Structures are given as C-alpha cells and as structure tokens.
Structure 1
C-alpha cells in the first residue's frame, strides 16, 4: 500500500469516526431532550404520580369540593355561607402567608366541619426549581402556620400548580405530609363565563370526584350554589371525606 493510499485510508476512517460520533452525539442529544421533556411533563402532571403518590378520589357517590389559594377575607366567607346553607362540607388548602391575619376565618373553616390542608407557604410559581432546603422550608413553614391556628389540622398538602419532582417528594416525606390531587379541574382562575363554567362542571363531575376550585374567585362564588344544587339533584353527597 502506497503512502498516498495509507493517508487516504486514514482519512476515510477518520471521516467514518467523525460521522459515527456525530450520529452518536445526535442520538445522545435527542435522548437527553426527550428525557428532559418527559420528566418536565411528569412534574406538571400530578395524576401521573411519577414523583409523588397522591389521592384523587373521595368515596363512591360523594363529591369533594376543594378550594385552593385561600383564605380570602372577601370570598372565603361567601363560600362558607353557601356551603353551610346547603349542608355541604368541603376541603380548603391554605397558603401559609395568607393564614396570618385571617386566623378567625381559618378557625371558622374548621368549626363548620371542613377539612384543612396546606398549600405551601409562598405559593411561588418557581417552587419546582428550588433546591431541597428551600423547598422543604417553604412546605414545612406553610404547614406550621396552619397548625398554629388549628393544631389538629390534617397532614394534607396540595402541590401549588400541581407541580411535583424528586425535591418536592423528599420535602413532603420529611414534613410527614400526604399529597391530595384532584380528578376534575375547574379552571375557574382563567375562565370568564359563569354559565359555561357551570355547564362544564355539571357535565364533568361524577361520584367520587375531587373537584379543584378556588375560593379567591368571584366567578367561583357565583356558580357555587347552583353547582351544589345540581349535584344534590343527582343524589350525590357533598362531604369533606377522602377515599
């Protein structure tokens, strides 16, 4: 083999190696991107229970209405008035920093037979990006604020925005809290038409559903009583109980 042929052969082998490396890198990058998107999707999809095991159902023929983001000094009392009038009980997930200054309202929620859970201290939209120490502190502090007012509140927690990941899973374990999800999401924070919202919820809700609502929304207050009446007309109970 001539020197020229040798150089050519080495060049060919080098080109093949570069090509294989490029293909390998391409697949590695594609794999990395794919896994990243999958994990991100699972972190945003609470019902997948990929990172955190959660409860999504109440007892058969019962509907558990759950309210996030309170206590709200304006709308939470209105929600409580409607529930009391209709003989219904529900579950409220409270933000720790909102508990301060609304202690009497928090006590009223429990005194009227409703279940209480925590919803973090800050309800920060970036909680899924925090490190373990900060995440644990926020979750623990949120629950402690609730316990200061209602010492026998349950060990329940609803992840803000439904976001979970290994860090949040570890924090919940350290704090001894159980995740509560939902089977029906109302989207009452983004919808504008009360008639449409009521219609959609009436059609979607079935026995054993846990419904996600927000007691911070005027819209929710406006459709709550007709929704309760509709569910009761179908012989469904509305009790604060988990499966």
Structure 2
C-alpha cells in the first residue's frame, strides 16, 4: 500500500469515528430529552379506578384501600366527619339544557356548588360559565379531553390537559380558575396525582355518586332520592351530573331535605382551608 493510500484510509477512518461519536452524542441528547418528558418516572404509573364502600347509616364510607397513597398528594374525597357540611359537585362534559335550571334552584336555596368542566364546555357555554362564577359557584377543572390522566406519560401533554382548561376559563371570566381537579372517570395513579399537585391543584374525588349520567336511562325520582338520602353523611363530597333530567327535577326537594336535616352546603375552599 503506497503512502497516499495509507493517508486516504486514515482520513476515512478518522471521519467515520468522528461521525460515530457525533451520532452517539445526538442519541444521548435525545434520550435525555425523552426522559425529561416522562412524568415522574420514579413513581408508580399503575392505574386505579376510584371507588368507595357505600354505607346507609349516616357515616362516611371507606375509600379505596389499595391506593391509599392518594392522601399524600393533596387529594380529598370527604370532609370533616363531625360537621354537617355537604360539598355538592357536578361533572359537566357537555350541556344538555339543564344547567340553567339547576343554577336557578341553587340560587333559590342560596346553595353553592362546584362544577367540574372540560375545555369544550367552557368554550361552548361562556354565558353559563360566567353565571356560575358570578353566583358564587366554583368552576373547576375536569381536563381538556376527558382521558385517563394515568395513561399520559408525557409531561407536556399532561400539563396541557389541565392548563388549557384554566386558560379557557380565564379568557371567559378574566379570573384565575380555582385549583381543584377532578380526574376524569375517577382514574388515577400515584404519578398523576403527584403531577397534578405539582401544578398547584388538589385532586377532588367523592364519597357519594350514583348512576345518573345516562340520558336515555334516567332513574326515577323516588329511586334517586332514596339513594341520595340514605347515603348522605357529614362531610360528603357529592358527585352528580347536570345532564341528568332526574337530578334537575329533584334538586329542589333534595336541597330542602338536606336543610331540614341540618346540613349546610359549602364550597371546596372551605374544605381545603380547614385542612
């Protein structure tokens, strides 16, 4: 091999090594960037479905046991067991024409509530959102697209699910959205609760709910009232759906019943400031 060939081969080898080293650096950088996009990889991403064990004796139900870590991440499902306070909440994915009637009934009883709404609800119903806020209710965060937050492994996507809703609320009302988040479908993980907390939000579960969301399969008035009355307890966080015709029609009776039983309705601000 002559001298020129040797020099040429050395140059080729050198260039290849330089390119290989550059590729390794780029790949390492991309891997590092990818890792930063993972949502708290040190925490469990196992998905759980919220549930509680109902009681009919006027006492608070016991919550999910296999995921009791929820208590560590600014999460609530119930209030003070010794105080006859109810936190009435509605999960609103869309407007079915009932909400203004519900607001009329709440106004009649001077009863505050919390409405957990998705982004599209805010954009499609700005006048209702303004009315909720102006009449003393809390309009709270129920995510952008109503997907399981436990299924989101990208931090930017996770943030967008929550922050885009608060941005839409501010555009409509000019105010900051209350920092309460209800996990869609009650699905959560330790990671999702931690990341919700890191965004400054409390996660709000519930200690009462019943099957009220099927518009074409609504429970009777008597069935619904029996469920609600028999499972009412101090500190209850009650979850209803405003698309329910039954809920809309019985709400006046329910609020009257609670008042007669000595209960007061309050907002989540009262709950969290007591803790």
Do Structure 1 and Structure 2 share a fold, with TM-score over 0.5? yes
- Select the structure that is richer in helix: 1
What is the alpha-carbon distance in structure 1 between the residues aligned to residue 237 and residue 194 of structure 2? 25
TM-superposed CA distance for 1:170, in Å, is 4.1
What is the alpha-carbon distance in structure 1 between the residues aligned to residue 94 and residue 85 of structure 2? 24
Aligned partner of 1:230 among 248, 257, 260:
257
Counterpart contact for 1:96–1:142, Cα < 8 Å: yes
What is the alpha-carbon distance in structure 2 between the residues aligned to residue 214 and residue 240 of structure 1? 17
TM-superposed CA distance for 1:99, in Å, is 0.4
- Deviations 1:43-99 (CA, angstroms, capped at 9, x unpaired): 112644435441223451111110112562611111100111122111111111210
Aligned partner of 2:192 among 161, 165, 168:
168
Which structure 2 residues correspond to residues 208-227 of structure 1 after superposition, within 5 A? 208-227=235-254
Partner of 2:57: none
Aligned partner of 1:57 among 78, 94, 101:
78
TM-superposed CA distance for 1:198, in Å, is 1.0
Which structure 2 residues correspond to residues 142-181 of structure 1 after superposition, within 5 A? 142-150=165-173, 151-181=175-205
TM-score (norm 2): 0.67
Partner of 1:193: 220
Counterpart contact for 2:98–2:245, Cα < 8 Å: yes
Give the length in aligned residue pairs.
Answer: 202
Counterpart contact for 2:139–2:177, Cα < 8 Å: yes
Partner of 1:44: 49
Q: Which secondary structure state, in structure 2, belongs to the residue aligned with residue 212 of structure 1?
A: strand
What is the alpha-carbon distance in structure 2 between the residues aligned to residue 90 and residue 155 of structure 1? 15
Counterpart contact for 1:132–1:168, Cα < 8 Å: no
Is 1:183 matched up with 2:202?
no
CA 1:120/1:102 → structure 2, altered by over 3 Å: closer, same or farther? same
Q: Structure 1: 5+ residue runs without aligned partners?
A: 1-38
Q: Structure 2: 5+ residue runs without aligned partners?
A: 1-45, 52-62
What is the alpha-carbon distance in structure 2 between the residues aligned to residue 137 and residue 177 of structure 1? 14
Partner of 2:23: none
Which structure 2 residues correspond to residues 105-116 of structure 1 after superposition, within 5 A? 105-116=128-139
Is 1:131 matched up with 2:119?
no
